Amino acid sequence: EAGVAQSPRYKIIEKRQSVAFWCNPISGHATLYWYQQILGQGPKLLIQFQNNGVVDDSQLPKDRFSAERLKGVDSTLKIQPAKLEDSAVYLCASSPQGGNTEAFFGQGTRLTVV
């Protein structure tokens, strides 16, 4: 079974530029998560999709971050414009059905904003 795929693995951008991350979850998984993980901290949920609907985006900075899940499968997370404090690893995860099933994580995208 293929795992969660993310790209790119690394990205360096200047502040005020825009960036996009892509995630392909495990086939058949209804739930998709985007997390932000700052070095030395736990994952912080940015947005959670159930199929192609949003179930939680309460911690997503909506003035600069946006996310969509196309046809309930792939997802993209965009930051526009980026700030220095957005430097972090962005993790995508998927699970079969909701929070009380195992979440499988991708390798993450390490974003550095300079």
Partner 1 sequence: QQQVKQSPQSLIVQKGGISIINCAYENTAFDYFPWYQQFPGKGPALLIAIRPDVSEKKEGRFTISFNKSAKQFSLHIMDSQPGDSATYFCAAARWYQLIWGAGTKLIIKP
Shorter beta-carbon distance to partner 1: residue 19 or 103: 103
Report the nearest approach of partner 1 to the CB of residue 60 (Å).
16
17 vs 50, which CB is nearer to partner 1?
Answer: 50
| Close Cβ partners of 10 (under 8 Å, ≥ 6 residues apart) | 109, 110, 112
CB 104 within 8 Å of CB 4: yes
Distance in Å, CB of 106 to partner 1, minimum? 6
By three-state DSSP, how is residue 22 classified? strand
Residue number with CB closer to partner 1 (72 or 81): 72
Task: Report the C-alpha gap between 7 and 92 in whole angstroms.
Answer: 10
Give the CA count within 13 Å in the CB-facing half-sphere of 14: 0
Work out how close the CB of 86 gets to partner 1 at its nearest, in angstroms, rounded to a whole number: 19
Where along the sequence are the contacts to partner 1 (CB under 8 A)? 4, 31, 33, 41-43, 45, 48, 50, 55-56, 91, 93, 98-108
